[in-house]
Amino acid sequence: MRTALVALLAATALCGAATAQDLPLKALPDDAERDHWLPEQVNADGKLEAMQAVVGAEAVPYSGNQDGPVRIALIYPSADVSDFWARNYLALTKRLEELGIEYDTTEFASRQIEHSLQSTYANQVAQDADLYDFVIFGPSELATQADNISKLAGTDGINTFVWAFHTVLKDLENQPDAWFDFSSAAGALTMCDYMLGRLGNDVTYALNRGIPGITDNQRSGDFMECVAEKGNWDPVYEHYGEYQREGGFEGTQLILQAYPEATVIHNANTAMAMGSVEAQIAAGKEKDVFSTGWGGTGLELDAIRRGELDATPMRMGDDVGAATAEAIKAYMEGRQDELPLVFLGRITVAHDQMSAEEIDALEQEAFRFSGVGALER
């Protein structure tokens, strides 16, 4: 027999998913050029900021009663090397425990390249919808899994959350109830403001970019546009290092030799930042160039502590899982209308002017649920 809690969740699932006709809340001039809406177009004013504040604060326990655990299916590529999935699973479950919510999880693991396996899992969860209250879907690739996202979002009796993407596809017949991710575009603008405040205007710089595509367009491209518009910065060279350590090393070698006027090197991920640092040390130039990383990983923070890396936009890594737990609580309390459609984890800047204690505190906050240091696999 369904409990009162499960009945409430089923009722909210029936009316919770948005349709393409409901969106966007705000139109932009370039809408026709994109197959997706941006977070600011689909979130009502203030909802994202309010949710970020909740996620960063101490847990407030669930106010109701449970006759049984909340049942959660997770379909995600957690069999891959990245610890994003494992860390956010830990953040999800530990935050649920802090909230006093009983839960039961069923994991459907795959690798990033196993698109058809994820389709099989999605069909299985949709078919067995009466076994679950929530499904968390981490797509192997967004466009490839779009039909499965829409299928799950349109399934009666379950609420659907998407992890690791924040580009809300326009052509979904059924929108999921929420998207949870970090925004490379938001990180680029955060880094832009910090760099302008730290280094001022009219700076000559170079970039180690990743692979052409949406992520690098945001991390590198949006940064370039921002510093040009606000500070008249001049990029003298762009090297595509394919997100590899070797690419960062080779790009930096070339920059140091051919473009010595570049006083800043912007790196689009951790691996290239580490390669860039190695090249600077090898050339004895690590004190002459201002170097950035991306993401605030342990490797980057250690490099900042050693004085080798100067700054990085740092993700509060456990925010995605913690926010998902808070969203589950909101649905259980009938407050789902308070949630943003797209949740973006907080990004701040870690830099070499921070004390060791400040960097340690930032790292503890970022991984407050999943733990500092490498996870045991």
> Omega before 24 cis (within 30°)?
yes
Please check whether residues 68 and 209 belong to one and the same domain.
no
Give the count of domains, the chain: 2
Please tell me the least confidently modeled range out of 59-68, 72-81, 157-166.
72-81
Dump the DSSP string for 119-154: HHHHHHHHHTGGG-SEEEE--SSTTTTHHHHHHHHT
Cβ pair 341, 178 in contact under 8 A: yes
Please check whether residues 239 and 355 belong to one and the same domain.
yes
- Dihedral angle sign, alpha carbons of residues 318, 319, 324, 329: positive
Please check whether residues 19 and 112 belong to one and the same domain.
yes
Please check whether residues 56 and 199 belong to one and the same domain.
no
Tell me: pLDDT of 7 over 80. Answer: no
pLDDT at 298: 85
218: amino acid identity, one letter: Q
Percentage of residues of the chain with pLDDT beyond 70: 93
Indicate whether 253 belongs to any domain: yes
pLDDT at 125: 98
Please check whether residues 192 and 93 belong to one and the same domain.
no
Indicate whether 240 belongs to any domain: yes
Indicate whether 14 belongs to any domain: yes
Indicate whether 59 belongs to any domain: yes
180 CB-near residues (< 8 Å, 6+ apart) = 161, 162, 163, 164, 166, 320, 323, 324, 327, 343, 345
- The per-residue pLDDT of the chain, averaged, comes to 92
Please check whether residues 100 and 190 belong to one and the same domain.
no
* 3-class SS of residue 329: helix
Please check whether residues 144 and 46 belong to one and the same domain.
yes
Measured distance CA(62)–CA(190) in Å, rounded: 33
pLDDT at 18: 53
Q: 219, 220, 272: which is closest to 250 by C-alpha? A: 272
Indicate whether 377 belongs to any domain: no
Please check whether residues 27 and 157 belong to one and the same domain.
yes
Measured distance CA(158)–CA(240) in Å, rounded: 43
What length is written for the chain? Answer: 377
Please check whether residues 30 and 128 belong to one and the same domain.
yes
Reported confidence tier of residue 201, pLDDT bands at 50, 70, 90: very high
Indicate whether 376 belongs to any domain: no
Please check whether residues 233 and 258 belong to one and the same domain.
yes
Please check whether residues 174 and 274 belong to one and the same domain.
no
Tell me: pLDDT of 15 over 50. Answer: no
Q: Exposed (0-12), middle (13-18) or buried (19+): which is 211, by Cβ within 10 Å?
A: middle
Please check whether residues 325 and 361 belong to one and the same domain.
no
Q: 263, 266, 261, 270: which is closest to 251 by C-alpha? A: 266
Measured distance CA(377)–CA(46) in Å, rounded: 38
Strand ranges in the chain using DSSP code E only, listed in sequence order: 36-37, 70-76, 103-109, 134-137, 159-163, 168-169, 178-181, 204-209, 234-240, 264-267, 290-291, 311-315, 342-344, 347-351
Tell me: pLDDT of 213 over 90. Answer: no
Q: Produce one character per residue of 2-34: b if its CB has 16 or more CB atoms within 10 Å, e if not.
A: eeebbebbbebbeebbbebeebbeeeeeeeeee
Question: What is the distance in angstroms between the CA of the first residue and the CA of the last residue of the chain?
Answer: 38
Q: Which domain holds residue 139?
A: 4-182+317-345
pLDDT at 81: 56
pLDDT at 1: 30
Can you give the CATH number for the domain in which 284 is found? 3.40.50.2300
pLDDT at 214: 78
Looking at per-residue confidence, does 17 or 70 come out higher?
70
Q: 357, 187, 208: which is closest to 275 by C-alpha? A: 208
Indicate whether 371 belongs to any domain: no
Please tell me the least confidently modeled range out of 16-30, 87-101, 118-132, 141-155.
16-30
pLDDT of 289-332, one tens digit each?
Answer: 999 999 888 889 999 999 999 999 999 999 999 999 999 999 99
In the numeric block, which tokens belong to residue 61? 């326990």
Rounded to whole angstroms, the maximal C-alpha distance in the chain is: 72
Indicate whether 307 belongs to any domain: yes
